[in-house]
Amino acid sequence: MRIALNLKGVDYDAVPIDLASGAQKDRDYRARNPQGFVPMLEIDGLAITQSLAIIHYLEATRPEPRLAPADLADRIHVMAMALTIACDIHPLNNLRVIKYLSGPLDHDAEARDDWYRHWVREGFTALEAMAAPRAGRFLFGDAPTLADICLVPQMFNARRFNLPLDDFPLLVRADAEANALEAFAAAHPDRVAPAA
C-alpha cells in the first residue's frame, strides 16, 4: 500500500501498528477493521482494507501513473502475477500462520522456516515462469506495475527467511530495479517509523 501511495504521489500520515505485540488485534482497531490486519487506508471518507482493494481504488481515482497496462490482455497478465503473490504465496507465510505452526502445532523453528521456504520457493518458481515471456526491467515490461508492488515486500520477506534466490533472476532483477526507485525505497520498513 505504501508503495502504491508513493507511486501515485498521494501524501499520507502513517499510523504504525506493532504486529509483534499483536496491536492489530486491539478492540479499537478491530472495530474499524474486523480482520485485524494491516494495512487499512482512510481516504476520501472511506476506510479501505485489503491491499489489492486499496490499490484498485487508487488506480480508479488517481489514474496516473498507471499501475497496470492499458491493454486488457496485458493487464490481466499483470493481475495474475500480482494475485500469485497476494493470494497464493503471502497468506501461507503470514505472521498468524507462522505463529500457529510454532504455537498450537508445536513445530520448531527449523520446521517453521522449512514451511516458509517451501511455499515461497514453489510460488516464486511459478512466478518466474509466468514473468519470462513479457518481463523487461520489471515483471512486465520496463515500468513498475502492480506485480512489482506485490513482489518487493515478498522478496524482502524471503531474504529474512534466507531463501536462496539464484533460481529467480527475473524476480531479483525486478526487485532491484524497483528498489532503485524512490517510491519503493521510501516504502521500505527501515524508512517507516516504528510503532510507538
Ligand X SMILES: N[C@@H](CCC(=O)N[C@@H](CS)C(=O)NCC(=O)O)C(=O)O
Which residues are CB-neighbours of 41 under 8 A, at least 6 positions away? 1, 5, 12, 47, 48, 54, 57
One character per residue 1-20, x = contact with ligand X (rule: CB under 6 A): ------------------x-
Nearest residue (CB) to ligand X, 52 versus 172: 52
Tell me the C-alpha distance between 174 and 141, whole Å. 10
Nearest residue (CB) to ligand X, 86 versus 127: 86
Tell me the C-alpha distance between 189 and 39, whole Å. 13
Judged by CB under 6 A, which of 96, 107, 121, 188 binds ligand X? 96
**Smallest separation (angstroms) from ligand X to the CB of 142:** 26
* 95 binds ligand X, rule: CB under 6 A: yes
**Smallest separation (angstroms) from ligand X to the CB of 19:** 5
- Number of residues this chain uses to bind ligand X (CB under 6 A): 11
For the chain, how far is it from start to end, CA to CA, in angstroms?
Answer: 20
Tell me the C-alpha distance between 83 and 165, whole Å. 20
**Smallest separation (angstroms) from ligand X to the CB of 133:** 26
Judged by CB under 6 A, which of 23, 43, 50, 143 binds ligand X? 50
3-state SS, residue 43: strand
Question: What would the grid cell of residue 132 be?
Answer: 519470462
Nearest residue (CB) to ligand X, 89 versus 130: 89
* 84 binds ligand X, rule: CB under 6 A: no
